[in-house]
Structure 1
Amino acid sequence: MSIRKATINDAVGIRSLILSAAEPETNSDFNKEGVVHFKESLELKAIKARIQNKNYLMLCFIKEYKIVGIIAIFKKEKLSQLFVDPTSRKLNIAKQLWSAANEICIAQGGNGNYWVKSSTMAIPVYERFGFRLDSVQQNTDGIIFHTMLLQS
């Protein structure tokens, strides 16, 4: 098992991982509009653009030559994606990805303060990292989320 920066060649694996982890068609955080909007954000062109964008840090967790977790942080402050394959949950992969990404962000001048638009399911994960709910449930483009903050 290892953690490394994402490359363009990872885009298909990242897309597959996110779709299996989020399960938008059966996830109560998504209505029909939300499923469409979410899938648009996962077009390969969009994933590749995030990987190449210097404002994003995207790390992959590799297990047995397969991407089983990813984290993306925008401008060292917005945790924009954190997904773990359902078959690899309960192995502390999210925690390891978070620790590695936070360490890189701090080393590159980040201040340790972050925010995230969390899915309902991910709230307990982010709370274990020290994030706290900052607002009531919100809905944008058919996707329910909860803004959470981590202040160092």
Structure 2
Amino acid sequence: MEIRPLVTADIPAVSALLRELAKEYIVHESPPEGASTFLAENDEMGVRGFLARGHVYHVALVDGQLAGFVAVRDRSHLFHLFVGKRWHRRGIARRLWEVARDAALAEGGEGAFTVNSSNYAVPVYEAFGFVRVAPTQCAKGLYFNPMRYPAPDES
């Protein structure tokens, strides 16, 4: 497995993987308008916009194929973390998180991170050391669980 910073040529594959996984693991719980909004905001142009606003992306490649990707906003918010279904349970998500965390720290991040987890991903983030800091919420028709790393009593 290779993990490296995203390059422009990766954007179509990243946005396609995001769309595929979001439909199954995130927006299936949302009303149609919430799902449409999320998918529109996270398409290829959306990813380009996130990059332009300073989000830092890394991609994981297995045998040259995109296996997953991660993005961090403001050196403190885990914005995207997606791993293709065929690569689940191989440690790729954890490795992407570690690379993203280390990159944020190297750029001056303080080490505290937040994430708005889908219901599906809560156990994954808990395994990384994140804890819920509020009940499940809904914004723009999208359900999420606010989480923090490290746990608030560890900071």
Query: What are the equivalent positions in structure 2 for 1:3-152 lying under 5 Å apart?
Result: 3-24=3-24, 27-53=27-53, 55-151=54-150, 152=155
CA distance in 2 between partners of 1:81 and 1:130 (Å): 17
SS of the aligned residue for 2:4 comes to: strand
CA distance in 2 between partners of 1:46 and 1:58 (Å): 13
| Deviation (angstroms), 1:29 | 2.8
Residues 24-69 of structure 1, C-alpha deviation per residue, up to 9 Å, x if partnerless? 598543221121011111222221122343x311000011221111
Q: Is the 8 A contact 2:132 2:147 kept in 1?
A: yes
CA distance in 2 between partners of 1:73 and 1:27 (Å): 21
Unpaired stretches in structure 2, ≥5 consecutive residues: none
Compared CA separation, residues 92 and 25, structure 1 to 2 (3 A): closer
CA distance in 2 between partners of 1:35 and 1:66 (Å): 27
Q: Is the 8 A contact 2:113 2:149 kept in 1?
A: yes
CA distance in 1 between partners of 2:24 and 2:91 (Å): 23
CA RMSD in angstroms, aligned pairs only: 1.7
Q: Is the 8 A contact 1:29 1:120 kept in 2?
A: no
| TM-score (norm. length: structure 1) | 0.92
Q: Identity over aligned residues, as a percent?
A: 26
Residues 54-113 of structure 1, C-alpha deviation per residue, up to 9 Å, x if partnerless? x31100001122111110000111111000101110111000000111111111111110
Name whichever structure is richer in helix by fraction: 2
The count of residues paired between Structure 1 and Structure 2 equals 151
CA distance in 1 between partners of 2:2 and 2:116 (Å): 26
Compared CA separation, residues 24 and 40, structure 1 to 2 (3 A): farther
Unpaired stretches in structure 1, ≥5 consecutive residues: none
Compared CA separation, residues 26 and 60, structure 1 to 2 (3 A): closer
Residues 123-144 of structure 1, C-alpha deviation per residue, up to 9 Å, x if partnerless? 0010011110011111111110
